[in-house]
Structure 1
Amino acid sequence: MANTVEVSSNIWNWINTSVQVPAAVREKFEQWRSGEKKPTFSQLEEFSRKIHVPIGYFFLERQPQEQFKLLEFRTIDSRQLQDPSRELIDTLRQMESIQEWMRDDMIAGENEENRYVGSLRGKKGIAELAAMVRETLSLPSDWYEAVKSGAESFRLLREAISSVGVLVMMNGIVGANTHRALDVSEFRAFTLIDAYAPLIFINAADSESGRVFSLLHEFVHIGLGTNSLFNAREGETAFVRPEETLCNAVAAEVLVPRRVFCNVWENTAGIIKSRVQELSKYFNCSQSVIARRALDEAYITEKLYRELIEEAIRLAKETMLAKKARSGGGDYYRTLLSRIDHRFLQALDASVQEGKTLYTEAFRLTNINRVNFDKLLEKVQGERV
């Protein structure tokens, strides 16, 4: 008979309250928790993989203290973030590993600290801050007129943000595990501040327009030099910190300049809802941003604003479902490329070629194998030709 392992009741109780145990192993888990049976080491290994909890946790006497400073910077008060999902925790760990690698690589290469980090701190006025963001990204005030869709806006902004030394990562799952989806209701994006390698992570489960707004919101946070966990829902106003209101306002001003908005609104005919739809297309942003602009300018009431937000949420969900139905799985390599900051990928490849980083480490950081790693590099290089 295989030897069994003694697990502290504190650990079983922590798992019961903090971890989602799959139905397939729930009965066995309850037998272990009650003491009716004890697991073998191999059973614990399998169980740890199923619930995505490190095997070492089972040998602790007290529940693990998983402290992530980033969770203190949540946008709104949320029970989900008092008990973050394993998916969020593992994504945070992965991004911290990438940021640590990039920071070490930049220091080894004698690069200077990123000048944008904290550069907005102490500045006043939404218009001034928005102008500084546009200047940093080399964006004209009417940049939105040169793009035709939310996806194109996101690509343009992502490339501009990456070019000023900010890592922009994106995924809708944990690593490469398609069975571990990220929940957009738990978080839409987050920012990890670092003097050398500031990082923004975008939840790809969000809508195209949602990603655009989150990207700008997080970029403002980097300018303020503060970490951020953006979990605000569409139209959310109950923010924990005034800084979140500021970041939202600056992001909105970059997307939809107030002066231009007022002029276009007053010269657009039709009922309110049709105006919101029309301006959403004009500025290539979500209807939620336009509705908020209209509310701030007293063009609509709070009641109508809430109605417009509900409508915007419904349309966004329908659009995403329709897109998934049309995609048929999509282009595999294009999806992989969308997850990884291209500057990071190229720096990682250069380090591997110079013998400073092992291939195994490169594969761990990117969650891809040797064949896909080489193909992704070919595609990135092809885009720059």
Structure 2
Amino acid sequence: YKTHNMLMKTEALVTPQLISRARKRRGMTTSEIAAKMNVPSDVVVAWEAGDKRPTFAQAQAFAKKLHIPFGYLYLHESPIERMPLVDFRTTRGGISEPSPDLLDLLTDVLGKQQWLRDYRRFEGYVHPPFAGRFGITDSEDVIAEDMRDILDAEDARKYAHSMDDFLEYLVQNTEESGIAVMRSGVVRGNNHRPLDRAEFRGFSIHDNIVPLVFINTCDFKWAQIFTLVHEIAHIWIGKGGVSNPDYELQYSLQEKPVELLCNRVAVEMLVPRGDLLSYWKTKDVLEENLDGLRKRYKVSDMIILRQALNNNLIDISEYRMRYAQLVKLTRSVESDTDDVNNSGGDFDSALITRNGKMFTEAVINSTVHEDVLWSEAADMLDVKVKEISGIMTYLYGS
């Protein structure tokens, strides 16, 4: 015990540059990390300059608060961190290196996808025939029509009473088609690690057994529908990756052909061009058109306006003005994020949303059949062991 106390008070021979690097990766100032560490900011500045060293206990606390391995601080230089998926993000401010939260999320979801892939292959599931069915040179109209058919999008729209309903029906139909869908606004259920919608809106994993789509629920609810379909389009053309669709950016300014195609496919699937043109009344003012079309398509004005812009029914200045108005209105209504982890809703429902119904049921089935230990299931679902029985009851009844 005495030896342990002495060790914790001993100076940690960490690399000063990596203290600075770890802080900057999290986008924190010296004052912010100092407040978390309960030390003066000039102490953190001294650590980074190499003028002082943290104690062993302080170094451990530093690593824990910044969500990095303790051993990272002892490396001689920062390791090169690469995205495990293709980076399709396009933003006018340039692409920054991925944050620790995004990297940890990708690692977690990729691990779950690999486990689910092995499970479904063992269970004899056939690969989804639509994955990679089309290519980058195919027409968005053809791809969108195929997606609408496979995902029963029109039935989902018919039964939905609202945009939220439509999103839930689409997610349900997507998973039934063989694509796993996970939605969350935090890393591994940790509400202290929110995801940044400015960094990414979603990503997709193309796979011939278990393709997967992830949606960042810190994004606006109206944007999540577009992102879901955008990422599904990535699966259809066999090009998975991390995306950050820019709703204000003109198609002519898009730098990446894959993103350009997936944007067009998403718009066409959600608001079919021919249908829009038949219902658009040129004599009506824009607001009157939107009132009727919003009810018809169960999507936000932005998706309707994007298709209208594509077909020269409005101009780019009108589109941008409406976009700015919608973002301002949404931010004033949403005091916090739409993330289900913070919504205070039903625990089991929120958990299934976060992990996806396909993955959750596979883990619970494996636990019931004693192929997976309860402790392993809890770790896979990011819950406590005592909560597993409640999830079983929620899925299958008592």
CA contact (8 A) 1:75 1:229 kept: no
The 1:209/1:380 distance shift into structure 2, 3 A limit, reads: farther
Q: 1:200: Cα distance to partner?
A: 0.9
Q: 1:14 aligns with which of 16, 21, 24?
A: 21
Moved more, 247-256 or 335-344: 335-344
CA contact (8 A) 1:20 1:51 kept: no
Which residue is 2:3 aligned to?
Answer: none
The 1:332/1:28 distance shift into structure 2, 3 A limit, reads: farther
Q: 1:260 aligns with which of 275, 285, 294?
A: 275
CA contact (8 A) 2:182 2:214 kept: yes
Q: 1:16: Cα distance to partner?
A: 4.4
Which residue is 1:286 aligned to?
Answer: 300
The 1:301/1:138 distance shift into structure 2, 3 A limit, reads: closer
Deviating above 6 A after TM superposition, structure 1's stretches of 4 or more consecutive aligned residues are none
SS of residue paired to 1:202: strand
CA distance in 2, matches of 1:274, 1:180: 42
CA contact (8 A) 1:5 1:40 kept: yes
CA distance in 2, matches of 1:113, 1:77: 37
User: Per-residue CA shift, 1:20-65, capped at 9, x if unaligned?
Assistant: 3434135443222122222233222211111111212112111022
The 1:322/1:39 distance shift into structure 2, 3 A limit, reads: closer
Q: 1:122: Cα distance to partner?
A: 5.9
1:134 paired with 2:134, answer: no
CA contact (8 A) 2:17 2:48 kept: no
> Map of 1:48-87 to 2, 5 A cutoff?
48-70=63-85, 72-76=87-91, 79=94, 81-87=95-101
1:311 paired with 2:318, answer: no
Q: 1:126: Cα distance to partner?
A: 1.9
Which residue is 2:248 aligned to?
Answer: 235
Q: 1:201: Cα distance to partner?
A: 0.8
1:373 paired with 2:388, answer: yes
The residue type equivalent to 1:247 in the other structure is C
> Map of 1:37-186 to 2, 5 A cutoff?
37-70=52-85, 72-76=87-91, 79=94, 81-121=95-135, 124-140=138-154, 143-186=156-199
TM-score normalised to the size of structure 1? 0.89
Compute the RMSD of aligned alpha carbons: 2.5
Q: 1:34 aligns with which of 49, 59, 84?
A: 49
Q: 1:162: Cα distance to partner?
A: 0.6
SS of residue paired to 1:191: strand
Moved more, 231-240 or 258-267: 231-240
TM-score normalised to the size of structure 2? 0.87
% identical aligned pairs: 28
Which residue is 1:216 aligned to?
Answer: 229
SS of residue paired to 1:266: coil
Q: 1:138: Cα distance to partner?
A: 3.3
The 1:72/1:233 distance shift into structure 2, 3 A limit, reads: closer
The residue type equivalent to 1:35 in the other structure is G
User: Per-residue CA shift, 1:107-158, capped at 9, x if unaligned?
Assistant: 3334443322211226622221111112222344x75233221111111111
1:244 paired with 2:259, answer: yes
The residue type equivalent to 2:330 in the other structure is A
Moved more, 252-261 or 81-90: 81-90
CA distance in 2, matches of 1:168, 1:346: 13
The 1:242/1:375 distance shift into structure 2, 3 A limit, reads: same
User: Per-residue CA shift, 1:275-297, capped at 9, x if unaligned?
Assistant: 23432232111111111111111
* Structure 2: 5+ residue stretches without partners: 1-5
How many residues in Structure 1 have an aligned counterpart in Structure 2? 378
